[in-house]
Amino acid sequence: MGPARRRWLCRLAAGECVADAAWRADAQGHGIAHVRVSRRLDQGATGRRAPLGSRIAVMRKQDRFAVSPFGFLPAAHLAPLDHVESDFVAVAERFLGTPYLWGGKTNYGLDCSGLVQVALNACGLPCPRDSDMQERALGLSVELKDTRRGDLVFWKGHVAIVRDEMTFVHANAFSMAVTIEPIAEAVARIKSSGSDVSSVRRLD
């Protein structure tokens, strides 16, 4: 098989064509493409899961599936290693319904700052792990009344991602899941428990 044939066209779940993932030959002469999971994968009967951003060696493409050491994976959920997402808010929204887990940052469960870190990392943006570190390191300060998509709203020990002027997405212990909430309602609820917004940070 010549170099021109050792290519596999990866597509995102939305159907958008990204880039070819270049194959390389392993010691046994099999073609291998190293790709990244662009959507979380649940591997059905095998019980295996591949969190967003996992690196997987793909040996070949068969119909709509990529054949990997883990078995058959939907090719639509894979992307080349060098692919970066363009909208970290949309990445965060893929985790809607994921259980809240303190210290977690996978589809098994994640916490507020883990959601922010995973979403920003998927877009090729560096991000500290904990919310207090994120508040100090990320973006410029803006007023809560001026929030727009992509702003980060911080409290002591918590962070949420603004979706639009009315709502944000966050992993929270109130719902024990990643949820979308009206900003005004969530701010009032959190304030009633003794914590006020400490800052709003804009990344660009």
Q: What is the pLDDT of residues 103-155, one digit of tens each?
A: 999 888 999 999 999 999 999 999 999 999 999 999 999 999 999 999 999 99
**Residue 113 and residue 178: Cα distance in Å, rounded?**
12
Tokens of 195: 């914590």
Whether this model's pTM surpasses 0.85: no
**Residue 18 and residue 176: Cα distance in Å, rounded?**
35
Cα–Cα distances (Å) from 90 to 69, 86, 188, in that order, read 29, 9, 25
Mean pLDDT of 67-94: 87
DSSP symbol at 149: T
**Residue 117 and residue 199: Cα distance in Å, rounded?**
18
Residues linked to residue 200 through DSSP beta bridges, in sequence order? 142, 153
- Domains observed in the chain: 3-80 (no CATH), 88-202 (3.90.1720.10)
Mean pLDDT of 7-28: 30
Question: Is pLDDT of 97 > 50?
Answer: yes
The alpha-helical segments, DSSP class H, found in the chain are 88-93, 112-122, 131-137, 183-192
77-91, 96-110, 127-141, 158-172, range with the lowest pLDDT: 77-91
Question: Is pLDDT of 26 > 60?
Answer: no
